[in-house]
Structure 1
Amino acid sequence: MNMPRPLIPQVMTTPPTAFPARIRGPLLKLCLGAGTLGLALHVFAADPAPVPPATTTPAATATAGAAATPAAPKAGAQFDWSKVPPVTAPSRPGMFVIAPSGPGYYSLWDVVTGNERKAPPVSPNAPYALMTNPAFEIDYRYMEKPGYEPDLFDPIKRIHMGEDFLLSFGGSFWYRYMRESDARLTNTSDNYHLIRSRFHADFWYQDKVRIFAEFLDARSFGQALAPAATDVNRTDMLNLFADIKLANIKDGPAYLRVGRQELLYGSQRLISTLDWVNTRRTFQGVKAFWRTPTFDLDAFWVRPMITERNQFDNWDTKQEFFGLWGTYKPMKGHLVDMYFLSLDDNRHRALGRNGILGDSITHTLGGRLAGDYNQFLYELEGMYQFGQYSNQDISAFAVASGAGYHFKGAPMNPQAWLRYDFASGDNNANDGRRNTFNQLFPFGNYYLGWIDRVGRQNIHDFNAQINLHPQPWATFTAQYHRFYLANKQDFLYNAAGAATLRDATGQAGSYVGDEIDFRFNIHVDRHQDILVGYSKLFAGNFLKATAPGVSPDLFYVQYNMRF
């Protein structure tokens, strides 16, 4: 297999003075802010609070048992491998789910074999077909503890090569059947198949140096419409990076990561690996990160990867994405996210005042609270954007809020959420101000419907969700959305952030429509899941006027196998 062009030299050969003048100032401020926040976190971390549990939504995280306290090192070993790698547990997303606990059958295979467990089993993967956390964050450290439950693929995991080296392999395969009517707001029906294969190798020298490589092959068959950019990527690298340990600071290690890497932060409203699509999302660049029991702190500079179906992907040299992200975990079940992000887009695609095309730079300042208390569930996130969009000043914002309740002890472990999401829009393209929110690199489907017709831009979304576990191995989720344009002169934007439909006069109104989404997941065993889903978008006045006769629906069946 031909290998891509070297990654590390591409990242490291850009001197600080080579950054465009308009981002050099914000970048220096970002570095100063990183130092200040790092000092503050250093002080706070002196008195660590309890670590939050890993009971979060199956779409984003692994089973709680996988994050258990590492065991003591094996007898005779000179290096304690029970803490390598220093896994980052994914943050709770919005509408998070608290998984079942207590005695029961936790997979369909448990039912077949009559294996009733006293508690959820230790497992590196979430009991769900969609899992957004990267492969390099999957936690197999439980294998350092004697007495763990053996598995067929153990021989390729955590292979100790002497006392100082560790090698591990893994991967996944999925197949999905999709049946769409009125696909992409056209009058076309589409029935097609998606296949994705991934394979990774992970090599460590103690906890000082890591090299991680992950192969990806994504293909589509039988589509009536041209495959989307996220459907096909043949024979490529999803991740290819090196980690170098910088130091131990207070209660945790600090690392520098260089190369191609997936990013996932917070609620995933702004930065996600986007596991729903066939290709996943990845970047290339540099990230420094520090992990402690109560604080995580990241600073990064990357460029998005451009998917090139029949050749190796390369990074987009016309986009720079850099930021600072901190997560504080003050007590069990609660978290606080704080972040500053900048996207410098020099592709000359920003349509400004009087139809002038230009570049843009968007700064996003935000924060988030999420947690559960006495069976009450809550989340609140606010995001404000400023910067320049061609010849216009940016002033935009978004708010995501939700309250829920966990009916603990009730049959089927029910949980319910009521939510309101808002992202601003623009009503005048010639007033010198850009008010449309930029959703950056989100996991939009999870929040705004799986049909993909609505993105976090120029939208009001009043929504509700119910989660049930008919059995510990079965998960049912139902969602309802009512969508309105935030500004009826602006576009309707899809899940990818592309402008799709608009009535510049505003006479079509703002009522986009109502969407229902149903998903049912069967956890077959620790390696296999089956997901069945159906979604329907009922057209409102705006859709009826701008896309007559269109009322799309989606049915899908997915099989996922991980090893």
Structure 2
Amino acid sequence: MRGLATRLLSLVLAPLPACAAPERTNVRYDEDWSSAAGAEGIDRLKYVRLDASGDIHASLGLELRTRYEGFDNPLWGASRDDGYLWLRAMPSLDVEAGHLRAFVQPIAGYARGVNGGNGPADQTGIDLLQGFGEWRVPLATHGTITLRAGRELVGLGSERLVGLRYGPNIPQPFDGMRAIIAHGAVRLDLMRLRPVQIGLGNFDDRTSQTRKLEGAYATWTVAPNIGVDLYLLGYRNDLARFDGISGVERRRTYGVRAFGRRGGLSWNWELMIQRGRFGGQPIRAWSLATETGISFPAVRLQPRLRLRANVASGDSKTGDGKLETFNAMFPKGKYFGELSPIGPRNIINIHPGIDLVVAHGVGIELTEVSYWRASTGDGVYDVPGQEIRAAGASKARHIGDQIELSTSWKASATVSFAASLSLFRAGRFLKETGAARPIHMVGTEAMLKF
């Protein structure tokens, strides 16, 4: 028995040959394992010929993750201490036959110990995370048109507006259709999607009948490692709620993103403008999100200095006939860090950080974030968009300051570990409007991704 366990461990920890190890992504369906043809051992499961010619082939995948998060004084003491365990398993099967393809990824996701009960980001039981079919049509001039229908994870750009929600336990899938046109340096995504409403039991995830996302997202690779995104996204929520008012929200987001890398310098800047209507009043919202970094790979510990600065508009005055609160719609799960309680609405923040490589596969990240309210007429929100502290009578802007230390270890191509410690100290606004104790947060994670 001990010999079998040792053999299994060696298979998991042994890296694949360089030619057969594409990056393992979070969506899994964009991995190309054709270079693994002819691999031996467990690696042969990454490329399985289903006919003699190999025109029909399959790839198997598996992700197992366990994560613990603990909080002292959540919501600055307005809620009792919390600590919970997240568990998830996500096997996958990808089958291609010429221009046709089918991808299936079920999920088993459970949570233990969540204060107040599990929510849709904590537990889904056993369900279908992804399941779609696609038809890829080659173009005459070095391009393709891909038509895809079914359920899938969708991440657009930096995932500031449409993300996978990968960091929490249960990702956010969408049901619908996408047409992906790739030609030369340009890629255009046309989409008509509805988010999946996560149920807590087995096989009870359903297509949302109240929210919808559609639009176009284009990426132009201007030069190697330099690109520009342009997009228009339409969002509808029949059960929206702002400032205690419920109504139908129709929102259009016009966006442009510039990103790239030249030598040690990198940048990722994005401007988003929102227009539309909510409950009979016009929407006038916007956000600017930036990240600029510089790395020194030849220096000891290979430091990378990074500065993020973000602004997301808030409502200036309740009842003035317009809504100015920015809506990130479906953002990535860990928006301002691994353990931050604050999301991208009515916010100004400055977020410096440094990344260090302390050993092969081992990295450390130290960050500090200072938060202010963009508008004193609006409150503070969490990442899903719920208001967690109302504006009250306070005119203070400073919400608080957070420091976070994270470390990660990529033990092999398939196994990784991570841990985070974070402290959030309340600023004047929180002190003037209620509970203002410091939040202490800890997170640990172990993952196998085959």
TM-score normalised according to structure 1 size: 0.74
What is the letter of the counterpart of residue 166 of structure 1? H
Whole-angstrom CA distance in 2 between matches of 1:363 and 1:330: 26
User: How much does 1:319 deviate?
Assistant: 1.3
Partner of 1:504, secondary structure, is coil
User: How much does 1:292 deviate?
Assistant: 4.0
User: How much does 1:282 deviate?
Assistant: 0.5
Whole-angstrom CA distance in 2 between matches of 1:553 and 1:250: 56
| Match 1:525 to one of 393, 405, 412 | 412
Identify the structure with the greater strand proportion. 2
Partner of 2:334, secondary structure, is helix
Q: Cα–Cα, structure 1 residues 451 and 197, in superposed 2: closer, same or farther, change >3 Å?
A: same
| Match 1:272 to one of 158, 163, 166 | 163
Partner of 1:329, secondary structure, is strand
CA RMSD of aligned residues (A): 2.4
Whole-angstrom CA distance in 1 between matches of 2:65 and 2:220: 35
Residues 270-349 of structure 1 mapped to structure 2, 5 A cutoff: 270-310=161-201, 311-347=203-239, 349=240
- The answer to whether structure 1 residue 174 and structure 2 residue 61 are counterparts is no
Whole-angstrom CA distance in 2 between matches of 1:501 and 1:468: 35
User: How much does 1:176 deviate?
Assistant: 1.1
Q: Deviations over 1:479-529 (max 9, x none)?
A: 11000000112010111111110133234x111000112111111111100
Residues 151-190 of structure 1 mapped to structure 2, 5 A cutoff: 152-162=41-51, 163=53, 164-185=55-76, 186-190=78-82
User: How much does 1:408 deviate?
Assistant: 2.8
Residues 436-451 of structure 1 mapped to structure 2, 5 A cutoff: 436-443=325-332, 445-446=334-335, 448-451=336-339
User: How much does 1:269 deviate?
Assistant: 0.7
Partner of 1:535, secondary structure, is strand
The alignment of Structure 1 onto Structure 2 pairs a total of residues equal to 437
Whole-angstrom CA distance in 1 between matches of 2:278 and 2:388: 19
User: How much does 1:536 deviate?
Assistant: 1.4
User: How much does 1:478 deviate?
Assistant: 1.4
- The answer to whether structure 1 residue 476 and structure 2 residue 371 are counterparts is no
Instruction: Point out where structure 1 has 5 or more consecutive residues left out of the alignment.
Output: 1-108
Q: Hey, what does 2:378 align to over in structure 1?
A: 490
Q: Deviations over 1:458-490 (max 9, x none)?
A: 000111011111123111111110000001120
User: How much does 1:137 deviate?
Assistant: 1.4
Q: Hey, what does 1:18 align to over in structure 2?
A: none
Q: Deviations over 1:417-447 (max 9, x none)?
A: 122100001121212111111111111524x
Whole-angstrom CA distance in 1 between matches of 2:80 and 2:21: 42
| Match 2:94 to one of 180, 189, 202 | 202
- The answer to whether structure 1 residue 397 and structure 2 residue 286 are counterparts is yes
Q: Hey, what does 1:88 align to over in structure 2?
A: none
- The answer to whether structure 1 residue 192 and structure 2 residue 84 are counterparts is yes
Q: Hey, what does 2:133 align to over in structure 1?
A: 242
Whole-angstrom CA distance in 2 between matches of 1:227 and 1:252: 45
Higher mean C-alpha displacement, 289-298 vs 404-413: 289-298
Q: Deviations over 1:376-417 (max 9, x none)?
A: 222221000000011110111100123221113111111101
> Conserved in 1, the CA contact under 8 Å of 2:19 and 2:35?
no
| Match 1:217 to one of 100, 108, 118 | 108
Instruction: Point out where structure 2 has 5 or more consecutive residues left out of the alignment.
Output: 1-9
What is the letter of the counterpart of residue 205 of structure 1? A
What is the letter of the counterpart of residue 425 of structure 2? F
Whole-angstrom CA distance in 1 between matches of 2:189 and 2:128: 23
Residues 329-408 of structure 1 mapped to structure 2, 5 A cutoff: 329-347=221-239, 349-351=240-242, 357-408=246-297
What is the letter of the counterpart of residue 160 of structure 1? R
Residues 455-470 of structure 1 mapped to structure 2, 5 A cutoff: 455-470=343-358
> Conserved in 1, the CA contact under 8 Å of 2:20 and 2:33?
no
Q: Cα–Cα, structure 1 residues 427 and 504, in superposed 2: closer, same or farther, change >3 Å?
A: farther
Identify the structure with the greater helix proportion. 1
> Conserved in 1, the CA contact under 8 Å of 2:372 and 2:399?
yes
Whole-angstrom CA distance in 1 between matches of 2:40 and 2:434: 52
What is the letter of the counterpart of residue 190 of structure 2? A
> Conserved in 2, the CA contact under 8 Å of 1:486 and 1:510?
yes
Q: Hey, what does 1:11 align to over in structure 2?
A: none
User: How much does 1:120 deviate?
Assistant: 7.3
> Conserved in 1, the CA contact under 8 Å of 2:100 and 2:133?
yes
Whole-angstrom CA distance in 2 between matches of 1:356 and 1:276: 30
User: How much does 1:157 deviate?
Assistant: 2.1
> Conserved in 1, the CA contact under 8 Å of 2:155 and 2:163?
yes
Q: Cα–Cα, structure 1 residues 552 and 121, in superposed 2: closer, same or farther, change >3 Å?
A: farther
> Conserved in 1, the CA contact under 8 Å of 2:101 and 2:134?
yes
Whole-angstrom CA distance in 1 between matches of 2:423 and 2:407: 15
Q: Cα–Cα, structure 1 residues 399 and 366, in superposed 2: closer, same or farther, change >3 Å?
A: same
Whole-angstrom CA distance in 1 between matches of 2:46 and 2:265: 39
Whole-angstrom CA distance in 1 between matches of 2:88 and 2:392: 40
User: How much does 1:360 deviate?
Assistant: 0.9
Whole-angstrom CA distance in 2 between matches of 1:390 and 1:555: 40
TM-score normalised according to structure 2 size: 0.91
Q: Hey, what does 1:542 align to over in structure 2?
A: 429
